[in-house]
Chains A and B, each alone.
Chain A
Amino acid sequence: MPIEVAIFIEHIINGLTLGAFYALVTLGLSLIFGVARLVNFAHGDIFMVGGYTLFLLLNLSGVDLPYPLIILIVVVITAIVGLLVERVVIHPILNQSWRVQAVATLGISIVLQNLALILFTSDPKQTPTPYSRQIIEVMDIRISVQRLIVLVVVIVAFVGLQWFVKRTQLGKAMRAVSQNREMCQIVGIDVQRIAMLTFAISAGLAGLAAALMAPLFSVTPTMGLLITLKALAAVILGGLGQVNGAFYAAFLLGMIEALFGGYVSYQFRDVVSFGIFVLILFVRPQGLFGRKVGL
Chain B
Amino acid sequence: MPRNGAQPLLEVSQLTKHFLGVTALLDVSFDIYPGELLSLIGPNGSGKTTLFNCVSGFLKLDRGQVRFKGEDISNVRPDKIALKGIRRTFQDVRTFQEMTVLENLMTALQQHQEENMIERVLGTQRIQQFEHAARERALELLDMVDLRPWQHMQARHLAYGQRKLLEFVTALMPDPDLIMLDEPAAGVSGEMVDRMKQHIRALNAQGKTILVVEHNMRVVMDISERIVVLDYGRKIAEGTPSEIQTNELVREAYFGH
What residue of chain A has the Cβ atom nearest to residue B56's Cβ? A186
Chain B residues contacting A189 (CB-CB under 8 Å) are 79, 107, 111
**Secondary structure type dominating chain A contacts:** helix
Inter-chain CA distance A188–B79, complex, in Å, is: 4
Q: Which residues of B contact A191 (CB under 8 A)?
A: 79
Select from chain A the residue with minimum beta-carbon distance to B176: A188
Q: Are the CB atoms of B115 and A187 closer together than 8 Å?
A: no
Which residues of the other chain, B, contact A110 by a CB distance below 8 angstroms? none
Contact with A along B75-115 (1 / 0, CB 8 A): 00111101100011010001111110001001110111101
Expressed in whole angstroms, the minimum distance between the Cβ of A274 and any Cβ of chain B is 31
* Residue numbers in A under 8 Å from B111 (CB-CB): 169, 173, 187-189
Write the nearest CB–CB distance from B88 to chain A, whole angstroms.
Answer: 6
Answer whether A173 and B94 are a contact pair too, CB < 8 Å, given A186-B82, A191-B79: no
The CA of A186 and the CA of B107, in the complex, are separated in Å by 11
Q: Which residues of A contact B132 (CB under 8 A)?
A: none
> How far apart are B197's CB and chain A's nearest CB, in angstroms?
23
Quote the shortest CB–CB distance from A180 to chain B (angstroms). 6
User: Given the known A-B contacts A179-B97, A187-B108, are A169 and B87 also in contact in the complex, defined by CB atoms under 8 Å?
Assistant: no
Task: Name the interface size band of chain A.
Answer: 20 to 34
Across-interface contacts of A172 in B (CB, < 8 A): 103, 106-107, 110
Interface centre among A175, A183, A189 (most CB of B within 10 A): A183
B65 within 8 Å of A (CB atoms): no
Residues of A whose CB lies within 8 Å of any CB of B are 167-170, 172-173, 175-176, 179-180, 182-191
Question: A-contacting residues of B (Cβ < 8 Å)?
Answer: 56-58, 77-80, 82-83, 87-88, 90, 94-99, 103, 106-108, 110-113, 115, 117, 120, 170-171, 174
The 6 sampled A-B contact pairs (Cβ below 8 Å) are A168-B120, A172-B110, A173-B107, A180-B97, A185-B58, A188-B174
